[in-house]
Amino acid sequence: MVHIAIAVVLGVLIVTYVAQITIVNGSSMEKTLHNGDRLIIEKVSPRFGNIHRGDIVTIDDPEKIDKERSPIIKRVIGVEGDLVEINDGKVFVNQNELKEDYINGDNTLVVEENYSKVKVEAGCIYVLGDNRLPGASLDSRSIGQESIDKVNGKALLRFFPFNGFKLF
């Protein structure tokens, strides 16, 4: 009985502080991730501020995202101090155009004018879904930058479907 209790406690600690399985819900990260993909999300990096441009993260922010959609999974485009600008269908970080061969769609549309040119504040990130088709992604274009405190974890690998295995 003690062994079962120890195993349960260890399992809870691992899921809470180290890693967990997440199922992608929706199409906001297509072409990279698809509805139903299974990922392992590691939870250590966000606790130590180890989030970088290009990382795929899960965010849980009930003040900005309704409970049915939360948590969301997005790509980090800008980190603290970056100037992120969406102009003429392209994304620029610190005045350099991003080369985004992973996006679905040809253009990144402005959703809210207030969030189309943003200096990323301390302790925050600017995130976008890879699916840039109109209405396909709830991201920083419509909800603004996100606090790193709201980041649950960073995608480590996709293990299902098996033919789509990928380390991130």
Q: How many domains does the chain have?
A: 1
pLDDT of residue 68: 66
DSSP, collapsed to helix, strand or coil, labels residue 168 as coil
Distances (CA, A) of 74 to 4, 7, 9, 11, 14: 36, 32, 30, 26, 23
Top mean pLDDT of 23-27, 68-72, 118-122 is at 118-122
**Residue of higher predicted confidence among 76 and 60:** 76
For the stretch 98-143, pLDDT in tens is 999 999 988 998 998 899 999 999 999 999 999 998 889 999 999 9
* Sequence-ordered list of residues with C-beta below 8 angstroms from that of 62, at least 6 positions apart, any chain: 70
Range of the domain at 11: 2-167
In this prediction, residue 91 carries a pLDDT of 97
Q: What percent of the chain has pLDDT over 70?
A: 93
CATH number of the domain where residue 133 is located = 2.10.109.10
> From the candidates 43, 74, 150, 154, which is the catalytic residue?
74
Distance (Å, rounded) from C-alpha 29 to C-alpha 74?
7
28 is a catalytic site residue: yes
Judge contact between 145 and 126, C-beta under 8 A: yes
Beta carbons of 16 and 52 less than 8 angstroms apart? no
45 is catalytic: no
- What is the pTM for the complete model shown? 0.88
Q: Which token pair is 66?
A: 């309704």
Whole-number Cα distances in Å, 129 to 33, 72, 79? 10, 9, 15
Q: Which residues pair with 38 in a beta bridge?
A: 23, 160
pLDDT at 48: 82
pLDDT in tens, 2-24: 878 776 776 776 666 678 899 99
DSSP H helical segments within 37-84, as ranges? 44-47
